Amino acid sequence: MLDVQLSELIADGPAGVGAALDVVAGFDAALTHGFARIGEEPAAALAALAGALGGTPLAGRVSEAVEKVSAGSVADEHLAALAGGRAALFGAVHDALLARLDTALGRTRATWEPVAGESETRANLLAGCRIWLRELAIVGWRGVDHDLVASADQTIEALLAVPELRGLAVLLDGLATELRASSPIATMDRLPARRWADLWTRATLLSQQGPWPGGGERVSGRLLILGADVHEHATVVRVQVHAVLEPSGGAPTMLVRTSVAAAKVDTIVGPTVWRLLGGHPALLAALAEHRSLEITDMPLLPGGDLVWHDDRARPGEEADPFATARLQLGAATAAAVTPLDRHPVRIAEPVFVEGYKSDGRTLTLGGGKIAFDLDRLPSCGPLTPALLKASTACVGLLRWDGGQWSLQPLAVQSVVKKEPVAAHNGDWAKGPTDPKAAKAEARNGDVVAVLRERAGRLLRK
Partner 1 sequence: MSARAREPAGAGGSEAVDADNAAWEERSVLRVVPPVEPRKLAKVPFVELADGRLQGVVSSGSDIERVYVSSISAGDHALSCSTNNNRPCGALHGYACKHINLLADEAVVQYGLDRVARYLRVEVPEGERLMAHINGHVERTPAAVVFSRFLRHLAYLEVPDSTGPLTELHWFPATGAVR
Q: Is the Cβ–Cβ distance between 97 and 14 less than 8 Å? A: yes
Three-state SS for 330? helix
49 lies in the binding site for partner 1 (CB under 8 A)? no
7 lies in the binding site for partner 1 (CB under 8 A)? no
Length of the chain: 461
261 lies in the binding site for partner 1 (CB under 8 A)? yes
Choose which of 155, 235, 292, 414 interacts with partner 1 (CB under 8 A). Answer: 235
275 lies in the binding site for partner 1 (CB under 8 A)? no
Three-state SS for 249? coil
Distance of alpha carbon 356 from alpha carbon 275, whole angstroms: 36
377 lies in the binding site for partner 1 (CB under 8 A)? yes
Print the binding letters for residues 326-365 with partner 1: x by CB under 8 A, - otherwise.
Answer: ------------x--x-xxxx-x-----------------
Q: What are the φ and ψ backbone dihedral angles of 71, each rounded to 5 degrees?
A: -85, 0
Choose which of 244, 277, 412, 422 interacts with partner 1 (CB under 8 A). Answer: 277
272 lies in the binding site for partner 1 (CB under 8 A)? yes
Q: How far is the CB of 138 from partner 1 (least distance, A)?
A: 21
Cβ closest to partner 1, residue 271 vs residue 321: 271
DSSP 413: E
Distance of alpha carbon 245 from alpha carbon 242, whole angstroms: 10
The crossing angle, in degrees rounded to 10, of helices 40-52 and 59-70 is: 170
Binders of partner 1: how many residues, by CB under 8 A? 103
423 lies in the binding site for partner 1 (CB under 8 A)? no
Q: Output the CA torsion 377→259→219→318 (10° steps).
A: 50
Q: What are the φ and ψ backbone dihedral angles of 363, each rounded to 5 degrees?
A: -105, 130
> Residue 345: is it exposed, middle or buried by C-beta count within 10 angstroms (0-12/13-18/19+)?
middle
Choose which of 161, 331, 415, 416 interacts with partner 1 (CB under 8 A). Answer: 161
Print the binding letters for residues 164-203 with partner 1: x by CB under 8 A, - otherwise.
Answer: x-xxx-xx--x--xx-xxx------xxxxxxx--xx--x-
Cβ closest to partner 1, residue 61 vs residue 432: 432
Q: How far is the CB of 374 from partner 1 (least distance, A)?
A: 5
Q: How far is the CB of 189 from partner 1 (least distance, A)?
A: 4
309 lies in the binding site for partner 1 (CB under 8 A)? yes
Bond into 14 cis (ω within 30): yes
